[in-house]
Structure 1
């Protein structure tokens, strides 16, 4: 029974950690960009600068999310303060629950999670502003192991697959990752 629960926790944790990234693989859900209304060159240049700044901030939040999740998972600390620096609900709660479940079953994450995210769409006119990210996550070296003896939890192996995430600009100006999904059925 305990082995099944650990496998379930491993799958949940891997799904949450890999659910957030979004980059190099196609999902068939890419946003269609509408042409911007005609503006003078000053407004267009300002818009391009705003768009690049949003993309950069969203990718930094995404990268921070992955790093904070790896650190919190390695320490089995679902309340690690760095999580809330890069994540917002509902994803923040999902990540914390996943880390807590692994901890309750005596498991933790080790290894390296490789990521190559890219922005697929920017919606600065939306309320709130959003940036969609796509990633090809490589979790082949990222394992769920038993904390006491570092044995790999059965069924917790990872591979390369597509992941997507959304970064949202909050009223305080921060860009936070608030949703994400792992697409294990879509290798990249």
Structure 2
């Protein structure tokens, strides 16, 4: 007999459909996270509402702090960040459900610059590197990126 608080396991065809839907929702949240971070970073706005639409803690706080620190030092992000994400794992049975994402970020055209004169901040030159993230499905049914890591020592 199954526990009363857990729904019955879906049929295999339903399971595959649920996993594909989770993958799509997670990748959409990841894309939204990158766009929201670029926009908020370009404006120097750590409280941009689009951040909380696509991110959740602890990553939300980390992104806000990075934007705030850049702003306090008179800097902002500019340029283009290219992304090529893929799903590496789907865990619909975990509570909460999660999807793991791996990406090859190309930051060669994405720079931290001084607001005053648009000079590139020393040591902030971009490159291609591996990034990982976890999308989590929250009680409201929305997927948000809750953790993320840039593995800048791992080129891709």
TM bucket normalised to smaller:
over 0.9
Q: Aligned residue for 1:31?
A: none
- Is it true that 1:107 corresponds to 2:80 in the alignment? no
**Match of residue 165, structure 1, among 129, 133, 137:** 133
Distance 2:80 2:35 in 1: 10
- Is it true that 1:142 corresponds to 2:110 in the alignment? yes
SS at match of 2:105: strand
State the Cα RMSD in Å: 1.0
Q: Deviations over 1:83-119 (max 9, x none)?
A: 0000000000000000000000000000000000000
Q: Aligned residue for 1:4?
A: none
Instruction: Kindly report which structure 2 residues correspond to 1:92-103, keeping only aligned pairs within 5 A, or say none.
Output: 92-103=60-71
Q: Aligned residue for 1:124?
A: 92
Q: Aligned residue for 2:16?
A: 48
Size of the alignment, in residue pairs? Answer: 148
Q: Normalising by structure 2, report the TM-score.
A: 0.93
Shift of 1:43: 1.1
Distance 2:22 2:87 in 1: 10
Q: Which has the higher helix share?
A: 1
Q: Deviations over 1:13-70 (max 9, x none)?
A: xxxxxxxxxxxxxxxxxxxxxxxxxx9xx81111111000000000000000000000
Shift of 1:165: 0.1
Query: Which of the pair has the greater relative contact order for Cα pairs under 8 Å at 6+ separation?
Result: 1
Distance 1:76 1:101 in 2: 9
Distance 2:94 2:58 in 1: 19
Unaligned 5+ runs, structure 1: 1-38
